[in-house]
Chains A and B, each alone.
Chain A
Amino acid sequence: MGRTLAQKVWDEHVVRRGQDGEPDLLYIDLHLVHEVTSPQAFDGLRLAGRGVRRLDLTIATEDHNTPTAGIDLPIADRTSRTQIETLRRNCAEFGVRLHSLGDAEQGIVHVVGPQLGLTQPGMTVVCGDSHTSTHGAFGSLGMGIGTSEVEHVLATQTLPLKPFKTMAITVDGTLKPGTTAKDVILAVIARIGTGGGQGYVLEYRGEAIRALSMEGRMTICNMSIEAGARAGMVAPDETTFEYLQGRPHAPTGADWDAAVEHWRTLRTDDDAVFDAEVVLHADELEPFVTWGTNPGQGVPLSGSVPVPEEVGEDGERQSVERALEYMGLAGGTPMREIAVDTVFIGSCTNSRIEDLRAAADVLRGRTKAEGVRVMVVPGSARVRLQAEAEGIDTVFKEFGADWRHAGCSMCLGMNPDQLAPGERCASTSNRNFEGRQGKGGRTHLVSPLVAAATAVRGTLSSPADLEPLPGRSVPAGALA
């Protein structure tokens, strides 16, 4: 019987098959490290007198704690500074390549890996961060791991893992203008639920997925964890190869040819069987936004906040009631009538150059809604440089947005970029958990297009809701 893409990648990395219920021992091709989940792992190595087995398969960057303003100043928060300094000390002591704040390659770990061409098809990629699923966009197996596993990979370059089940998520048809990768994944999570992917590796397939750019595919794979899945993947194709060719760490010459030949085999066989299958029709999708406190609590922008009394199951009704209380929303409110205080464009989900271009296209020539704070945080220093070379930063600045330096920023508020209690935010990030963006903060997950249109109108909106600009025949965002 044929194998799925995930099974092929798995099989290629088995160092030793587990016996009698033991897990398989899998080789890890790339280990991404950041300051938050690594200090205790390096301590563990020191205590055991161990080194890093493969420094040449390990790379570190500073992202979660780093300030996005005043980056040439010492980090004001003492504990953040200690954590960053600890990473620097650990990397120096063990010999790990590190991209520090101020370096052109610094940025969110999941933006940096692909950008350097280090993430390639058919690899196993791990990081002490659940959004490592992002790397699955290349047809690699990208898995988030805990600190004990970080230490394990540093010491052995392997991980003991039990095989996962596989789920096909097929998105057929063509996305309508204004509907993006983010809307697709929010719709997928609303369909299968935050626990629906547990125990599975998801493979995104179908015409609509094939039509996406690598950055769109990364957005989708990034949020696989939000459906509870351990990883999400897209089979590599010409779009993948084109994205990779010429990147700093992409293979060259004969290695490139050998790599591409191998990468072409990385697709699910026609006779392979998935453990579960879900089908979505792209032409039925529209911009999607969340109303609640987990990423599965979302509806189309044209919809309304659910009414708890109309929710059937008891446990589910309590969960909706609790979410609405936290979010300060009344059941039945149309999503488009929800006014926000802040718009955040950033995070490993939506902070790449295409995301910034799409948002800037909407904002160009428009005026910011009164009282709304808009923060734009590029995913990496390299993305920021690229945006500045294209003049996109000027669009944001003229609009009245705060143009920041790279980092995780307000996605999780470990640095000073946080929501105040009760502050409501349209955010291109990945989690709307209680307190995620700051204690008491209220998050609505949206696409970059919806974020931008919301910044113009002040209420949750799509570019289609905006008045046409004089002299512009195509509505902004229609081409995104």
Chain B
Amino acid sequence: MEKFTVHRGVGVPLRRTDVDTDQIIPAVYLKRVTKTGFEDALFAAWRGDPSFVLNQEPYRAGSVLVAGKDFGTGSSREHAVWALRDHGFKAVLAPRFGDIFRGNSGKQGLLAAVVEQGDIDLIWKALEAHPGTEVTVDLVERVVRVDDFTAPFEVDDYVRWRLMEGLDDISLTLRHADAITDFEAHRPSFKPTTLPARAAS
């Protein structure tokens, strides 16, 4: 995973709340078996509308999405994160996120930063007043900057560390392989196993 410290890019104001993962990527696009190439699926239902923000210059090239509360609720599909990433987004700012989406983001190098609604409102206004305005997302200092405006954001300490180091979870966990083996040795015998398969009669 690529290391994330400071990112600067065009901010995209998405003035909507409750943007669930079905809106980020409809189920019909989940049939693919690859992990890349989902950019065409991002916000698919809205992309036909010329007034939709991502259909307008200079937002097309945006890399920092600024959304309303409860972004990424609903389905666990990581495809939502892949679609944002493949489209070129590096960070999403919102007052509140769906838990699973936020977890998935951290595992794919996409920063989900929690910014207070009042600050989101100010950033929206700045981005709309001067389309193409760049937003700096500073993970080291945990702040976003737009022109001379600065707002703090929240991100889990551990997620921040992993993003900054570009580490993947599996290799981190496998450092504790002995602890896993120890745990397995003490699991109760009544715990079920899927094998051998037993079917209902």
Contact = CB atoms under 8 A, between A and B. Distances in A.
A434 B23 contact: yes
Contacts of B96: 195, 198
A25 B176 contact: yes
A27 B183 contact: yes
Nearest to A96: B194
A268 B120 CA distance: 40
Contacts of B161: 21
Interface stretch (B4-12, B65-73, B137-145, B146-154): B65-73
A50 B168 CA distance: 15
Interface in A281-315: 293-294, 315
Contacts of B182: 15
Contacts of B156: 162
A66 to B, nearest CB: 12
Given A15-B180, A123-B191, A146 B28 contact: no
B200 A433 contact: no
A361 interface: no
Contacts of A226: 74
Interface in A90-128: 97, 104-105, 115-118, 120, 123, 128
A247 B100 contact: no
A185 to B, nearest CB: 15
A146 B103 contact: yes
Interface string B14-57: 00111010110011101111110000000001000000000000
A117 B199 CA distance: 10
B100 A251 contact: no
A319 B104 CA distance: 26
A350 interface: no
B195 interface: yes
B129 interface: no
A144 B76 contact: yes
Interface in B164-201: 169-170, 172-174, 176-177, 179-180, 182-184, 187-195, 197-200
Contacts of A199: 99
A195 B20 CA distance: 11
Given A25-B176, A79-B32, A97-B195, A148 B98 contact: no
Contacts of A132: 76
Interface string A244-268: 0001111100011011001000000
Contact of B22 (A117, A319, A433): A433
Interface string A58-92: 11000011000000000001011011001000000
Interface stretch (A37-45, A173-181, A329-337, A368-376): A37-45
Interface in B80-116: 81, 96-100, 103-104, 107-108
Pairs A-B, 10 closest by C-beta atoms: A146-B104, A146-B78, A39-B33, A259-B190, A148-B107, A248-B198, A79-B31, A144-B76, A56-B193, A147-B78
Interface of B: 16-18, 20, 22-23, 26-28, 30-35, 45, 68-70, 73-79, 81, 96-100, 103-104, 107-108, 156-158, 161, 169-170, 172-174, 176-177, 179-180, 182-184, 187-195, 197-200
Interface of A: 15-16, 18, 21-23, 25, 27, 29-30, 36-37, 39-40, 43, 48, 50, 53, 55-59, 64-65, 77, 79-80, 82-83, 86, 97, 104-105, 115-118, 120, 123, 128-130, 132, 144-149, 151-152, 155-158, 160, 162, 194-195, 198-199, 225-226, 228, 230, 247-251, 255-256, 258-259, 262, 293-294, 315, 318-319, 322, 382, 412-414, 431, 433-436, 439
